[in-house]
Structure 1
Amino acid sequence: MVSFEEIEEVFKKLEGKLSREDFKSKVEEKVTMMNGLCDSKTAAMLVASEMGLNETIKIKDMSPDSGNVVFAGKVLSISDIREFSRNDGSAGHVVNITFADDTGSIRAALWDEAADLVKIGDIKVGQSLRVKGYIKEGMRGLEVNVGRGGSIEHLDQEVAVNVKPLKINEIKPGMNNLDVKGKVIDIGAMKTFQRKDGGTGKVTSITLGDETGKIRVTLWDSKAENIGFKAGDTVEIMNGYSRENTFSNQTELQVGSAGSIVKSNSAVNYSENITPIADIGINSAYSIAGHVSGIDEIREFERQDGTKSRVSNIYVSDDTGRIRVALWGEHAELVNELDIGSEIRVIDAYAKSGRNEEVELSAGTRTRIQIVRK
């Protein structure tokens, strides 16, 4: 005889699909049919599976030999939908989603009809879902494939995740699967470019800050094209990666097709780190505040590629010293708005050795200049 206490835990998951007596009877029948090759709890799980109940698994417990799995996860990021041609000439499409629970995270590939759920907006970042799919070893580790034999359903109860956002000063080059929250300080203009395969790509950059510092974030393609936030908003980046900019020697964040960036209601504090002019070195970016103590005329010049641009110089002073600031491109026109004594802030200008080996600042495309008082 099967003790109901041994199978009660499995019975509770059936949510009233049959009575206790009927379930116990089916389990006893399964034990008899298996000729003692399984215990009562295993038999109960087999009965439950035959009735459509799939036992959920935690992400950390998944392995290459798990086969078909069912898990509950929260959507951290959604990639762009990619279309492709099969060998038989038919068209297919796939989208990658990063899911997390309280034990870890995993990437899931949704194919064809499952990918359509993203296309029609039925799956969004932040939702909690129950996913049935097949585990396999992918190029980046374990991944779940959700095709015709799989399924996705929404959960009423939110799945708890154990993902702790990094502070900006904790980000080092070469890190992956990054979760970062910050305040948007600045948003750059979107640019288009030609890919090696002849296609067109889109890119823009934003500057993100928190109480530990700031970082430049590059957004690619649909992330660059569909920005749903403005300067001053708080955003959360999920599944980003970092690299070192060889020009500025600074760590930057990248948000590609597998990552996401969404507006957040979290409060993030940020204040600009202003460096006294006397403390500026070379080969690094600095932000200064002071008054204009000298203005030169705008000069036009020709680049190596034959295009023309403009440059002007101003001098900025504070209580510790005076420095020349070269204003390149569109920044050069600022001399028409400034007077001697105007108060300004020059944010993220690159320091280098200039005339007579004196330190000077170069204000380029990444520099922001704020006129505090004319």
Structure 2
Amino acid sequence: MIVLIKIPREFIIEKIKEKTKLSDKDIQSRIKDKLDKLSGLISEDGALHIIANELGVKLLDEPGELQVKSVMAGMRSVGITAKVIKIYEVREFSKENRKGRVGNFLVGDETGVIRVVAWNDKADLLKKLSEGAVVKIENGYSKENMGKPEIHLGEKTKVTILENADIEVKEKAVQRKTISELNDSDSNVEVMGTIVQVFDPRFFTVDPQSGKKVVEKNGGFFLGDKQIDNPDYSYVTNVFLDDGTENIRVVLWKSQTQRLLGKSHEDILAGRENGFEEEKNELLGKIVKFTGRTNKNEMFDRVEFIAQLVDTQPNPEEEIKRLDGELEKQHETEEVAEKPEAAEEVEEITIETEEAEEKDAVEEEIKEAEEHKKTAPKPGKKEESKKQEPDDLEEIDDIDDLMDLDSI
């Protein structure tokens, strides 16, 4: 069986930068060259793989224990040692004539945090875990979920709780960006702006047990070949957000739609018949903060924002504090940039001062030389004249030179 490992684009770029010291600009230039040379034959990701190979950059670590940042979707025999960050409840599910259980928990190390999924009997492990415990996972496998890798515990997976062990965890902080700064692979980012357009929620039928979309056919609802007797509804809402730099479509699934509209699931279902004109009008012009990730909509060739958290009442004090911090950093940057100019100004002043001092010294020497000339011996005093003559002549030459210099 061929196993495809999906390596995120940003990971490849970081690996290339780490091993070759190339800048982002250099890498983008090489990608463009490859795309031009192999026009229509490869994607940007394909070009990146070729560039990494040509530069001798090894993208994947040797099999064995990995750090969180090195886990990619599609890997087998995954091993990792990490600290348990959060434990979620075990849920039961029904799927095509069989029932099962699934639980998940988050683990992290100094490179990041990842979700671990435990199926059926492996879900019993969660009862033994506690937040803060360090676990060693051996022979797991990784899959992609919502664009991110996660570790799954299979039948052959071994999990050991390590006593008296500790690991420093690096949790990725939420990063605030303007809409114009977003790219198609951002995650855990936050944007804030004004809602300028709101669409009605779109409803679709789902299996209440699994949450998966069901299809209506032959007068019933089906999930695959299984008929669903009492389907539920889910929904998705789209809004356009503008922050003054650009605007972007924000996609809000069920729970985030509830937060945006401030309504329960039952209230939203009740509004299917009458529409949501009142709620839409209230949202227009409202400043809202969204936290989530970006996604490239290939059909429309645009970047969209998938909301994972909605704040309809951003705290003004927090925003003022954040802006003050940004202004302070900007001020420090400007001060650093101005320092060389200040140094040049000091140098210019020093030079001008030195020139003025030199001119004063020259004028002083001229005065002294003229005084000496006035007191020079008269022609009748031959002996004194002979003694003084060499000095006077030298002095007179100096005066001529100084006068010429001063006149310049």
> Which TM bucket (shorter chain)?
0.3 to 0.5
TM-score, normalisation: structure 2? 0.40
TM-score, normalisation: structure 1? 0.43
- Greater strand content: 1
